[in-house]
């Protein structure tokens, strides 16, 4: 029995180690970094310095970006609200008749003086011939009456003819001269009408929206052919009113057309001096119609700025109505110009 108890005591309490409770967690070694910071406090200062420098650099970068955006918006104004425009010449016949020849097709490029269409000239040729005959007859009648009047004047010197008869022949001679002038004018008008049966292109340009067909009847003043003048393209850029102060005539402009990578170069040709004001419209009594509703958010008015195109890259097709983005590059001497 003494030997068993001694063995149990030896197994219950190991030699040299204290007993560990069931809910006790083992202790871990402290982080090596803490000892390093305590041993080297300069490391902590270095990390703080780096953090401050990063913050300062971020703020400086944001300020620089904001300043560049402000300069781009104010000092170099731009807008995406721009449209390509061009003059369209409308050809309306000055004489009526059936179209017997149509020398162009839709979207065709024509040059000044090219034949566009011919209206049936038959009636106008007849009118020229008839007026030529009337003029010839008026000239012959006038010559006969003039010779007779001159002969009567010679006889009147010898009292061989009555004064009343002399005045009658002189009056007939004046009437004959007036008839010659009238016939001459009628012949000239007939020839002009005959020339107007041939409609020629007044400018270089493209035929657009051609609806006329052979054998159509063309009335006087009715539009038959329209030409987009190839030398008249420009861009209307609509800038907000708070940008107009920095835009001056002659300032270089960059035009970017939607659908093209190439850049079109131009310059400011002028700034519009007036836009429509709805409140200025009069009513039936002539009084101004003023909208009583005032919105808290006031939108800046758009002012048209005309951009003259100086250089169009090869491959860029200008079409009236295209959308464009315009950026103005204020010239160095812009401050001395009058807006």
- Identical fold for domains 76-86+232-280+297-336 and 121-196, yes or no, is no
Q: Is the pLDDT of residue 14 over 90?
A: no
**Do the strands 205-208 and 225-229 form a parallel or antiparallel pair, or are they unpaired?**
antiparallel
Q: What integer pLDDT is reported at residue 339 of this predicted model? A: 44
**Which pLDDT tens digit goes with each residue over 169-197?**
677 778 888 999 999 999 999 999 999 99
Query: Given this model, what pLDDT does residue 332 score?
Result: 64
Domain boundaries, the chain: 76-86+232-280+297-336, 121-196
Q: Hey, what's the torsion of the CAs at 200, 205, 209, 213, to 10 degrees?
A: 30
Q: 121-196 adopts what CATH topology? A: Helix Hairpins (1.10.287)
The single-letter DSSP state of residue 213 is -
| Strand residue runs (E) in the chain | 78-85, 88-91, 97-102, 109-110, 115-119, 198-200, 205-208, 217-218, 225-229, 234-240, 252-257, 263-271, 302-311, 323-328
Give the pLDDT band (50/70/90) at residue 159: low
Q: For the domain 76-86+232-280+297-336, what is the CATH code?
A: 2.40.30.170
| Interval 132-144: pLDDT, tens | 999 999 999 888 8
Complete DSSP assignment for 294-331: --SSPPPPEEEEEEEEEE--TT----TT-EEEEEE---
281, with CB counted inside 10 A (0-12, 13-18, 19+), is: exposed
Which candidate, 205, 227, 203, 225, places its Cα nearest to that of 89?
227
The label of the residue with tokens 């566009």 reads 116
Torsion of CA 119, 123, 124, 129, to 10 degrees: 150
Rounded to two decimals, the pTM is: 0.68
Express each pLDDT in 195-223 by its tens digit: 999 999 999 999 999 999 999 999 999 99
pLDDT digits (tens, 9 = 90+) for 250-275: 999 999 999 899 999 999 999 999 98
């Amino acid at each position: 029995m003494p030997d068993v108890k001694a063995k149990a005591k030896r197994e219950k309490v190991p030699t040299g180690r204290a007993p560990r409770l069931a809910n006790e967690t083992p202790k871990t070694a402290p982080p090596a970094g803490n000892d390093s910071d305590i041993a080297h406090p300069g490391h902590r200062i270095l990390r703080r310095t780096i953090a401050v420098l990063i913050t300062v650099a971020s703020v400086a970068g944001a300020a620089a970006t904001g300043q560049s955006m402000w300069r781009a918006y104010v000092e170099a104004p731009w807008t995406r609200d721009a449209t390509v425009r061009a003059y369209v010449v409308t050809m309306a016949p000055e004489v009526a008749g059936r179209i017997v020849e149509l020398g162009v097709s839709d979207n065709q490029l024509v040059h000044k003086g090219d034949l566009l269409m011919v209206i049936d000239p038959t009636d106008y040729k007849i009118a020229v011939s008839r007026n030529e005959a009337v003029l010839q007859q008026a000239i012959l009648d006038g010559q006969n009456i003039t010779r007779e009047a001159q002969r009567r004047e010679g006889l009147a010197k010898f009292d061989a003819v009555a004064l009343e008869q002399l005045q009658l022949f002189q009056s007939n001679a004046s009437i004959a001269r007036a008839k010659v002038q009238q016939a001459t004018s009628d012949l000239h008008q007939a020839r002009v009408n005959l020339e107007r049966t041939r409609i020629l292109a007044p400018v270089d340009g493209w035929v657009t929206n051609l609806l006329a067909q052979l054998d159509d009847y063309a009335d006087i003043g009715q539009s038959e052919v329209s030409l987009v003048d190839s030398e008249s393209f420009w861009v209307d850029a609509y800038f907000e009113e708070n940008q107009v102060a920095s835009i001056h005539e002659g300032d270089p402009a960059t035009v970017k057309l939607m659908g093209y990578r190439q850049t079109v170069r131009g310059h400011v040709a002028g700034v519009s001096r007036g836009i429509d004001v709805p409140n200025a419209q009069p009513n039936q009594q002539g009084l101004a119609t003023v909208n009583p509703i005032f919105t808290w958010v006031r939108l800046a008015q758009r002012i048209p700025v005309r951009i003259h195109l100086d250089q169009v890259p090869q491959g860029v097709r200008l079409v009236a109505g295209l959308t464009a983005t315009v950026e103005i590059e204020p010239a160095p001497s812009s401050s001395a110009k009058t807006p």
